[in-house]
Structure 1
Amino acid sequence: MLTIGSASLRAALIYTRSRVIQISLSSRIAAMSTISDAITKDHRELEAYYKEVINSSDHDHQERYGNQFTWELARHSVGEELIVYPAFEKYMGGKGHAMAEKDRIEHHRVKEMLKEFQNMQPNDPNYVPKLKELWGNLEQHMNEEETDDLPALEQALQKAKGESESMAKTFGFTKMLVPSRSHPSAGEHPPFETVMGLLTAPIDHIADIFRKFPDKTISPNPSTK
């Protein structure tokens, strides 16, 4: 068991080292102006992918955009948990801690539903209903983030010049390294979640090669998102 675990960890570390090289090469690319911009951009993309699935009756189209939705939501969620929620706690004290814990609970519920959805096929009669159920929870969560959480964070970050922009850049880089499928058992708190991500991300990203995505692409490139 230890041997298997060690081998998996070595593979994860090799994978991470290769991604760090990609990060260095991508450092010339301008980051989002603020962390709120980065989060909101992801929200709009998720909404677009969701609509592509529910407004189509073509199973191939639904599968491609369902995979894209899963890919983006899984990475977005973990990125928030590793970068944004710790910032709530660091810069907003007790209020920030309460916000982060509330959001983590909401994330866990969404990740449980996403795990169910990601294992379904479009010909399953529950495919679209399950996605709509997930979206109902996710949309409410995103609206609360955009209306309440992110404005409060940006106000708190005004005292730390450049921190919001730095967080946006780190958020984008973090999404390159995290799993692209839902793993609720990893939890929502680092460092355990970080360790699980190192182990599961390479497996997820390899499996993505064999999944269908929009525009006939073979696995989206995390370094461009």
Structure 2
Amino acid sequence: MAHSETEADVVDVLTADHRDVTALIGEIWSVRDPMVRRDLTDTAISELVRHAVAEEMYVYPAMRKHLPDGEKAVEHDVEEHQELERAMKELEGLEISSTEFDTTLRRLEEILADHVQDEETEQFPELRRVIPHEELVKLAGKVETAKKLAPTRPHPGAPNNELFHKLAGPGVGMVDRLRDMITKRATK
């Protein structure tokens, strides 16, 4: 089956995720109601965790395979994912109206901005240059599926790698979604 050039590829999907999470963080800054801030924070965390897991499962192996400095780029991105996870875990435990919450949210925002900059200006254009469009479209489908099964909460102690996510991720994700349901935690 032929794919048209207008079909969304993995870069489109991941870039849209970046925009969504960045907008959610902007909303968190714009509201003062603690319950709304908590809901927005939980949603941003959930979306960011799922995005990171999907990248680690499918995009990073493609980067390692196709980019000349792929291994180095992946190492850098995984380090940023770990920093993001630590900040998200802290946010989950902080009082929403505390100065510590704002400080940690600002740190998360800065790490995310750096991560987005690296991916969108360097790695994503390079992936589009070296991987056929049809393969990038297939990767988009895999990423979307992975996001549906992925955990919704940060697990900073878990390995940030493809094998762990493929073997344990769906189980961890199921437990997270059950916890979300029981606690009525807002996630998309």
Q: Same fold (TM over 0.5)?
A: yes
Query: Could you say which residue in structure 2 is the equivalent of 1:10?
Result: none
Q: 2: distance between equivalents of 1:175 and 1:100? A: 19
Match of 1:197 in 2: 169
**Residue 65 of structure 1: CA displacement?**
0.4
The Cα shift of 1:212 comes to 4.2
**1:66 maps onto 2:41 in alignment:** yes
Any gaps of 5 or more consecutive residues in structure 2?
1-5
Aligned residue for 1:9? none
2:100 alignment partner AA: N
- 1:43-58 matched pairs, under 5 angstroms: 43-58=18-33
Q: 1:40 to 1:126 in 2, by over 3 A?
A: same
Residue in 1 that maps onto 2:156: 184
Which residue of 97, 100, 119 corresponds with 1:145? 119
**Following TM superposition, by how much is the alpha carbon of 1:211 offset from its aligned partner in structure 2, in angstroms?**
3.1
Shift of 1:40: 0.5
Report if aligned partners of 1:186, 1:193 keep a CA contact under 8 Å in 2. Answer: no
TM norm structure 1: 0.76
Contact 2:58 2:162 in 1 (8 A): no
- 2:97 aligned to which of 100, 108, 123: 123
Counterpart secondary structure, 1:37 = helix
- Provide TM-score, normalisation by structure 2: 0.90
Aligned mates of 1:103, 1:163 — CA distance in 2? 22
Match of 1:211 in 2: 184
Which structure is larger by alpha-carbon Rg, 1 or 2? 1
The structure whose RCO (Cα within 8 Å, separation 6+) is larger is 2
Sequence identity percentage: 27
Partner of 2:3: none
1:118 to partner: Cα distance: 2.0
Q: Which residue of 2 aligns with 1:37?
A: 12
**Residue 212 and residue 192 in structure 1: after superposition, are their counterparts in 2 closer, same or farther (change >3 A)?**
closer
Q: Which amino acid aligns with 2:127?
A: L
SS of the aligned residue for 2:45 comes to helix
Q: Distance in 2 between matches of 1:32 and 1:76?
A: 20
The range that moved more, 105-114 or 70-79, is 105-114
Cα shift at 1:194: 2.9
Query: Could you tell me which amino acid in structure 2 is paired with residue 71 of structure 1?
Result: S
**Long gaps (5+) in structure 1:** 1-30, 214-218, 221-225
Counterpart-to-counterpart distance in 2, 1:124 and 1:197: 32
Q: How many residues align?
A: 182
Query: What does residue 114 of structure 1 align with?
Result: 88
Moved more, 70-79 or 117-126: 117-126
